[in-house]
Structure 1
Amino acid sequence: MTYEGVLTKMQTEFSTPIQYYLVFENSFLNLNQLLEKSLEINFVGYQCLNCGKKKKIFRQGFCYDCFMSSAAAGDWIMKPELSTAHLDIEDRDLEYEKKVQLQPHIVYLALSSEVKVGVTRKTQVPTRWIDQGAVQALPIVEVPNRYLAGITELALKEHYADKTNWQKMLKNEIPSVDLIAEKASLKDFIPAEVQEFYDQSKDELYQLHYPVLEYPSKVNSLNLDKTPNFSGKLKGIKGQYLIFEDGTVFNIRTFEGYVVKISL
């Protein structure tokens, strides 16, 4: 059986274990059902997720032109502290920026490879943590806009990592850390204008369980530009990665906008 379509990040369902779906225009795959089965992935071409043209993907599923112009690829996406919609100042498209920036955001601690700090829209809980392969996550503050979340993250980055070590995450090399104790210790690091949103008594610890039968001891990342054809037995799914028996891992998120053919 063959499925063909444009890669977009895997859709997930928060359950035990997490359910993963690869969704194409006219079909979808529940990847959990493919564990212990052999898959063949063939790179067919490109399709920009923004303009739909068959142009080489530059970043985040966008061609170069769209990445440089689309409001959905502004600098404030990766650096929330650069958000300006709360000041009525436009970056690329004020209407879009207000819609995304002026909504509740969560600053959190997550345990994926080590303790990391991050920001997500409240509507993206717990999807954001699943996407980064966190095994635990704990909200620190909920604030009314992206800017306040960004300056809080910036302050906490002085004390915590802000990126996941993807190799450790995939090998399941995770330290034992008490996130609730960490939250209790960081109040003084939070900016003055965010202190009112910090509630030490409110602890909602999320536990996340992934469909992984076997963690690799070494990982080798599949790059479709260099290896357009790959086949292997699926052993697990974690974060946005497929994990294969030979230690090959495939980051679906990295290859958004690539058209592939998947054969079972």
Structure 2
Amino acid sequence: MQYQGVLKKMKTENGDEIQYYLDMNTDFINMNQLLNKEISISFIKYECLNCHLEKEIYRQGFCKSCFFDIPNAADWIMRPELSQAHLGIEDRDLAYEKSVQLKPHIVYLANSSNVKVGVTRKGQVPTRWIDQGAHEAIEIVEVPNRYLAGITEVALKEHVGDKTNWRKMLKNDIEDENLVEWREKLKQYIPDEAKEYFIENNSETNLNFPVHKYPVKPKSLNLIKTQKFTGKLVGIKGQYLIFEDETVFNVRSNEGLVVSIDI
């Protein structure tokens, strides 16, 4: 069976085991059902997720001109402390920026390769944690806008990491941490503007990924260079497909590639 479509990050559904779905335009593939099966992925062409033209992808699934123009690729996406919609100040499109920035946001701790701090919209919990491959996470602060979440993250990352080591995460070379203790330890560093939003009483969320075999030495697949890859799928973690030969493929970092998948 063959499917074809433009890659977008896999949709997820949390449960006893996380379920992964790949949207291939006219079909949804439940990727969990492909575990222990051999699949082939072939690169066909590029397709920008915004303008849908066949243009080389620059970042985040967008061509270069779209990346520097559209509001959902602006700097405040990656650096929430730059958000200004709460002041009525436009970056690229104030209506869009208000629709995203002025919603409740969560500052959280997640443990994927190590304990890290991050920011996400409240409605993206636990999706954001799943995408990062975190096996445990906890909310620290719930604030009414993205700016407050951003300045809180900036303050806390002086005392805890804010990056994931993808190799360590995929190897499952991780230790369980007491995130409640981490939350209490970091409380003192929350900026004054956000202190009232500290979450006093909550517990960790634990996440179970569908992985049958973790790689010892994961090697990243460059599909554009390789053009086609065939292998047995043995796990899915974060946005990575893990194959038996220890090749790993990051679906999210390849958004905007039109591929065919043969099962």
The amino acid of 2:118's aligned partner reads G
1:165-189 Cα shifts (integer Å, max 9, x gaps): 0000000011231000111111110
Instruction: Determine the structure 2 residue equivalent to 1:50.
Output: 50
Please say if residues 142 and 199 of structure 2, whose CA atoms lie closer than 8 Å, have aligned partners that are also in contact.
no
Q: Give runs of aligned pairs for residues 31-50 of structure 1, distance below 5 A.
A: 31-50=31-50
Query: Over aligned residues, Cα RMSD in angstroms?
Result: 0.6
User: For each residue in 1:50-83, what CA deviation from the matched residue of structure 2 results, as whole angstroms up to 9, or x when unmatched?
Assistant: 0111111100000000000000000000000000
How is 1:129-140 mapped onto 2 (pairs within 5 angstroms)?
129-140=129-140
Q: What CA deviation, in whole Å up to 9, does each residue of 1:105-149 have, x standing for no partner?
A: 000000000000000000100000000000000000000000000
- State the distance in 2 between where 1:199 and 1:256 align: 35
For structure 1, list consecutive stretches of 5 or more residues without a partner in the other structure. Answer: none
Q: Any stretches of 5+ residues in structure 2 without a counterpart? A: none
How many residues align? The count is 263
1:185-264 residue pairs with structure 2 within 5 A? Answer: 185-200=185-200, 202-264=201-263
Write the distance in 1 (CA, Å) between the matches of 2:222 and 2:98. Answer: 36
Deviant stretches of 4+, over 3 Å: none
Q: Which amino acid aligns with 2:246?
A: G
Task: Tell whether the 8 Å contact from 2:39 to 2:261 is kept in structure 1 after alignment.
Answer: yes
Partner of 1:16: 16
* Cα distance, 1:204 vs structure 2: 3.1
For residues 156 and 96 of structure 2, the distance between their equivalents in structure 1, rounded to whole angstroms, comes to 28
SS at match of 1:69: coil
- Aligned twin of 1:72: 72
Q: Secondary structure at the match of 1:226?
A: helix
AA of the residue aligned to 1:222: L
After superposition, residues 94-105 of structure 1 pair within 5 angstroms as 94-105=94-105
Structure 1, residues 9-42: CA drift from partner, whole Å, max 9, x if none? Answer: 0000011210000012111110000000000000
User: Identity of aligned pairs, percent?
Assistant: 62
TM-score by length of 2: 0.99
TM-score normalised by L of structure 1: 0.99
SS in 2 for 1:141: strand
CA displacement at 1:224 relative to structure 2: 1.3
